[in-house]
Amino acid sequence: MDYGKYKYQLDKKISSKKTSTVKEIKIRPQISDHDLQLKVKHIKRFLEDGDKARVTLFFRGREIVHPELGMKVFDKIKALLIGFSHRIEQEPRLEGNSMSMIIAPGKD
């Protein structure tokens, strides 16, 4: 067997493995229900493709005084993802003027 051909086949096997990327969804605390459902639909599509999804919620101005509004939005997202194979890799946490949560695809 040709050693060059063997080396090429090994490289091809290694490069064919898919790496997981983190896709980001940006939202605001005053998001409407329909817009939130659309964003959750995008999150589901990312998870089906094997990617992680980072949901980032931005506060503007005096909205930062009420971080509980952001937590309510994250709770709605979790409720809409019930029944879908996923796991929360990072719980929502406040970082400056934004909150973020990372959702990873679950075991099928």
The better pLDDT of the pair 17, 69 is held by 69
Q: Predicted confidence band at 18 (pLDDT cuts at 50, 70, 90)?
A: low
The yes-or-no verdict on residue 45 having pLDDT over 70 is: yes
Cα separation of 33 and 30, whole Å? 9
Q: Which residue has the tokens 């063997």?
A: 6
Structural domains present in the chain: 23-105 (3.30.110.10)
Residue 90: CB atoms within 10 Å: 13
Its pTM stands at 0.78
Judge whether residue 108 has pLDDT over 60.
no
d(CA 40, CA 8): 41
- The DSSP bridge partners found for residue 52 are 22
